[in-house]
């Protein structure tokens, strides 16, 4: 079972992945307000032929390849720790490879790290932490401002619009009145 929120009334709508068509789309109506809601899943549902072919390939896969795939999927990329401020208490957000968009939580926010706060100086999409690998395979963390209305501070330095800064474990950065620490534990 999957769930989505109605963009009009915020009601939770549950649906089964078997209802998704071959293109990975599903359309339903909200039982509360009647608004039509469309969903597109990142991976399209497999056809019966593709599923049987996939099962055959899986049976020929060695145990070592399966183990290495599991290790990659469970890899820890660190987390962002939002420390307690006057608006809200401590929150933690795990990071993933690629862009991790950070902003204030709201019904319409489409961010990876949706911080629950009433801080009016934090934008809905305030900044981005990009997690990537360098040439040697080590993880690299780069912070860039959104651009945001109030700016992103690293230490006491204000980042310019779209300016990038490499950050490390323990780096403190501030979005409005909210402070965040990069933790690689």
Q: Which domain CATH number covers 144?
A: 2.60.200.20
30 plus 84 within the same structural domain: no
Residues in the chain: 185
pLDDT digits (tens, 9 = 90+) for 3-12: 777 777 777 8
- Among 163, 142, 161, 141, smallest CA distance to 150 is for 161
- Supply the pTM of this predicted model: 0.59
pLDDT digits (tens, 9 = 90+) for 69-87: 333 445 789 999 998 666 6
pLDDT digits (tens, 9 = 90+) for 120-139: 889 999 999 999 999 999 99
83 plus 36 within the same structural domain: no
> Taking a C-beta distance cutoff of 8 angstroms, is the pair 166, 184 a contact?
no
Is 147 a domain residue? yes
87 plus 32 within the same structural domain: no
83 plus 165 within the same structural domain: yes
25 plus 115 within the same structural domain: no
Q: How confident is the model at residue 38 (pLDDT cuts 50, 70, 90)?
A: confident
16 plus 101 within the same structural domain: no
DSSP E strand stretches across the chain: 2-5, 12-15, 25-29, 36-40, 79-82, 91-94, 98-104, 113-115, 127-133, 139-145, 152-154, 157-159, 164-167, 172-175, 178-183
Is 57 a domain residue? no
Is 111 a domain residue? yes
Domain count within the chain: 2
Residues whose CB falls within 8 Å of the CB of residue 23, separated by 6 or more in sequence, listed in order: 40, 44
User: Which structural domain, as residue segments, surrounds residue 105?
Assistant: 79-183
């Amino acid at each position: 079972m999957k769930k989505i929120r109605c963009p009009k009334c915020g009601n939770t709508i549950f649906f089964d992945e078997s209802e998704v068509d071959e293109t990975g789309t599903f359309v339903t109506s909200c039982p509360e307000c009647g608004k039509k809601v469309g969903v597109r899943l990142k991976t399209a549902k497999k056809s019966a032929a593709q599923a049987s072919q996939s099962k055959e390939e899986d049976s020929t896969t060695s145990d070592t390849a399966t183990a290495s795939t599991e290790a990659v999927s469970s890899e820890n990329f660190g987390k962002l720790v939002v420390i307690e401020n006057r608006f809200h208490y401590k929150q933690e957000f795990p990071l993933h490879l690629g862009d991790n968009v950070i902003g204030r939580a709201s019904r319409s926010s489409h961010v990876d790290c949706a911080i629950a706060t009433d801080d009016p100086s934090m934008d809905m999409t305030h900044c981005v932490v990009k997690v990537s690998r360098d040439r040697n395979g080590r993880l690299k963390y780069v912070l860039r401002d959104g651009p945001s209305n109030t700016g992103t501070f690293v230490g006491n330095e204000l980042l310019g619009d779209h300016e990038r800064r490499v950050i490390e474990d323990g780096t403190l950065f501030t979005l409005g009145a909210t402070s965040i620490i990069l933790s690689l534990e």
